Structure 1
């Protein structure tokens, strides 16, 4: 069965929380798929880095902070780096992003929608510098941190 056979609402959850937090539509576009708003945010960061609401980083290069988005690639052939997404802009790719809500030594806490059809708080281990450790085998790899300009 295809991953697309299940109702997807996690991207809509991220969009709704962004509105609730006061971000305008232009800062994080409403989308029915994570790849759609990721593409828009990557394009804006590339075109106007100083004015972009979010900047892209590889998880190994950036310790996420509250308000940032932590994104994983759920496809059968995951991207090895977020920049690979630039070559396939507009094409479907099953991804999932969670909103970072808290960081503390050794752990990061994120909230995501449609995690087993629920809104869930999850914890992921981080290294001493606060960077997210690679996902365990069999789990979707983290490929992107979308850092808010406020967290710069």
Structure 2
């Protein structure tokens, strides 16, 4: 009897995860479609963090690794060092240099033997979800994406900048596709789509926000992945209607009673101030912004001229020496990267 019950539970568990396309999508990081690459990169990281997820009822169902731990990733790595890698590889650490421990992450991200205690503190103390998004977009080769340690910057760009790879839409009534981002505002005040739009149009300089990447839609579900969701790279399950639009999206309100043992109904991680859907533009529109081929297939940028034969007056490029003359000597030596620890 116990064996039959265990087998039934196993089958039900498999059915619950039948729509998770990440194991297959994670293999498509070199796909020709930008949207597919975004989903593939995010999925690969979600699998690396051992599939933490919040179910469709807003309950945290699995959280095998935390940002501060020294091990727990699928490859045995330290979650905090992986977060340091998002910061370092995305090039966003200089913008955070005023934060304690940020510079230490340059070394901790590249050397497993480096203790990085300052970096570990930086990882714990500073939200890294926007660094994760920026890293995913860079790795996927999204043209025109505005990398930033703040979600608000690329949400605002989608609203104000025609060269953004995203369109700024309301989460309500819009269908979602892989590569899109669903965003909420992280303040006590409630904004919603209308409120956020007014603040952006009025010149708002910044708001604390969070965005998740839609990686798949399947059988009435949207699967969204974000960084620093419960201190991990975590998937969130959301419901869709027959037209692929978000349905039953729980919105915070000023009257919400805080989650507590006395109010279990208020305990739902999917109840947020959902304020914007960033819809990825079609591939042909993205091609008007920049290269849409995978980053590994992009040509190297042209090497700047060090001298010229047919010179343009005022260009600042020195004339090449005549044949038989000694080569030009730079007045200032080229900058070389400092050795580690230099």
Normalised-by-shorter TM-score class: 0.7 to 0.9
Match of 1:10 in 2: 129
In the alignment, does 2:167 pair up with 1:55?
yes
For 1:130-145, list aligned pairs within 5 A: 130-133=244-247, 134-135=249-250, 139-145=271-277
Hey, what's the Cα distance between the residues in 2 that align with 1:128 and 1:6? 41
In the alignment, does 2:188 pair up with 1:76?
yes
Match of 2:152 in 1: 35
CA-to-aligned-CA distance 1:50-77 (integer Å, 9 cap, x gap): x541111101131110001111122111
Change (3 A) 1:120 1:54: same
| Partner SS for 2:175 | coil
TM-score, reference length from structure 2: 0.38
In the alignment, does 2:282 pair up with 1:147?
no
| Partner SS for 1:114 | coil
Match of 2:141 in 1: 22
RMSD: 2.2
Unaligned runs of 5+ in 1: none
In the TM superposition, structure 1's runs of 4+ consecutive aligned residues that sit over 4 Å from their partners are none
Q: Structure 1 or 2: larger strand share? A: 1
Hey, what's the Cα distance between the residues in 2 that align with 1:7 and 1:148? 28
TM-score, reference length from structure 1: 0.81
Change (3 A) 1:89 1:17: farther
Number of aligned residue pairs: give it: 141
Hey, what's the Cα distance between the residues in 1 that align with 2:199 and 2:241? 26
Match of 1:102 in 2: 216
Higher relative contact order (CA 8 A, sep 6+): 1
Shift of 1:127: 2.1
Q: Which has the larger radius of gyration?
A: 2
Shift of 1:87: 3.5
| Partner SS for 1:12 | helix
Unaligned runs of 5+ in 2: 1-123, 253-265, 286-342
Query: Quick check: 2:191–2:275 contact (8 Å CA) kept in 1?
Result: yes
| Partner SS for 1:124 | strand
Change (3 A) 1:103 1:59: same
